[in-house]
Amino acid sequence: MKMQVGILGYGNLGRGVECAIRQNPDMELAAVFTRRNPEKVHILTESAKVCMVDEIESWTDKIDVLILCGGSATDLPEQTPKYAKLFNVIDSFDTHARIPEHFANVDAAAKEAGKVAVISVGWDPGMFSLNRLYANAILPEGKDYTFWGKGVSQGHSDAIRRIAGVKDAKQYTIPVEEALEAVRNGENPELTTRQKHTRECFVVLEEGADAAKVEEEIKTMPNYFADYDTTVHFISEEELKANHSGIPHGGMVLRSGKTGWNKENSHLIEYRLKLDSNPEFTSSVIVAYARAAYRLAKEGQTGCKTVFDIAPAYLSSKSGEELRKMML
């Protein structure tokens, strides 16, 4: 019997999870739960059901792991503790500052129900976090760097779209090549926000909008753009659709550290991702951790976990013996 997976929320992430499940022969999508009218939600997997989220309680015996594909701002803080009372769950909660609070809420719910919950799964938080941890444990004396991009920042694109006169927009976060090279050369630079990333915006204006005013509003927007060197390009709606409809992303986590009795030797650890589709890669990480959650639950473990708490072997469909033979 294949591991039965449920998806709650069918946006970019939910669809990515659906695709990732198909690439893992030991699992099967059982159902997608939605707040929309199920008849209007068209999924790709013929064998799976689309259900209203209100029906989810009748699925507790039929689903091994429920993957929560909502947003971190309002959905997950409520959903993850709620559904950890009924299912083993995974989420991709990515509001770094609120992780401790979210962990505590989910942990209490999952422990009470005897379920396993894995939070903040994806690439950042997720694979980038793992690489920060491993690199820090190996090189206790050193310096960490995280660069993001080149990739689309959904949050920054949304911020531009909220400006009066903007019809549509896409924002790319781009690491500064010189800063990255300095880190890779072991120079251990101190880098300001401006020195690490630039921001490039492609904006479609409403008819009659004032381009200069929009550009000024973008470039001076606090938190989002004011601390960065920002370039704004005004383009047509057709051009935006043709050249900027993808959701690529990526980045690098680096740690530069010293070893030796007199710290005479330098080392560089770099983890790099280059992703055509941010939501599909995030989904692929989530699905691997869904397998881990399923196995941990079978072993009788309960409570909230993060990527830090899960031994790598749990992610793979291969046995320990196969892994040692093929990958060690």
96 binds a second copy (CB under 8 A): yes
Q: Rounded to an integer, what distance in angstroms lies between the CA atom of residue 203 and that of residue 211?
A: 9
Nearer to a second copy, 132 or 199 (CB): 132
58 binds a second copy (CB under 8 A): no
Q: Which of 195, 231, 277, 301 binds a second copy (CB under 8 A)?
A: 277
Please provide the DSSP assignment of 127-186 as one string.
Answer: HHHHHHHHHHHH-SSEEEEEEE-SEE-HHHHHHHHTSTTEEEEEEEEEE-HHHHHHHHTT
Look at residues 155, 183, 172 and name the one whose alpha carbon lies nearest to residue 253.
Answer: 183
300 binds a second copy (CB under 8 A): no
133 binds a second copy (CB under 8 A): yes
46 binds a second copy (CB under 8 A): no
Nearer to a second copy, 87 or 281 (CB): 281
Contact 152, 277 (CB under 8 A): no
> Tokens 């030991």, residue?
26
- The interface mask with a second copy, positions 143-182, x = CB under 8 A, is ----------------------------------------
Residues 6 or more apart whose CB falls under 8 angstroms from that of 324 comprise none
Q: Which of 11, 114, 155, 312 binds a second copy (CB under 8 A)?
A: 312
Nearer to a second copy, 136 or 188 (CB): 136
| Contacts of range 9-14, beta carbons closer than 8 Å, 24 or more positions apart | 9/33, 9/34, 9/35, 9/68, 9/69, 9/70, 9/75, 10/34, 10/36, 10/41, 10/43, 10/50, 10/69, 11/69, 12/247, 12/279, 13/69, 13/92, 13/279, 13/282, 13/283, 13/286, 14/67, 14/69
72 binds a second copy (CB under 8 A): no
28 binds a second copy (CB under 8 A): no
212 binds a second copy (CB under 8 A): no
Q: What are the tokens at 213?
A: 């005013």
Query: In angstroms, what is the minimal distance from the CB of 262 to a second copy?
Result: 9
Q: Which of 271, 293, 294, 302 binds a second copy (CB under 8 A)?
A: 271
Other CB atoms within a 10 A radius of the CB of residue 290 amount to 28
319 binds a second copy (CB under 8 A): no
308 binds a second copy (CB under 8 A): yes
Q: Which of 227, 259, 295, 301 binds a second copy (CB under 8 A)?
A: 259
Q: Which of 34, 129, 153, 302 binds a second copy (CB under 8 A)?
A: 129
12 binds a second copy (CB under 8 A): no
Give the binding site for a second copy (CB under 8 A).
16, 18-20, 22-24, 44, 96, 99-100, 103, 120, 125, 127, 129-134, 136-141, 184, 186, 259-261, 265-277, 280-281, 283-285, 288, 291, 306-313, 315-317, 320-321, 323-325, 327-328
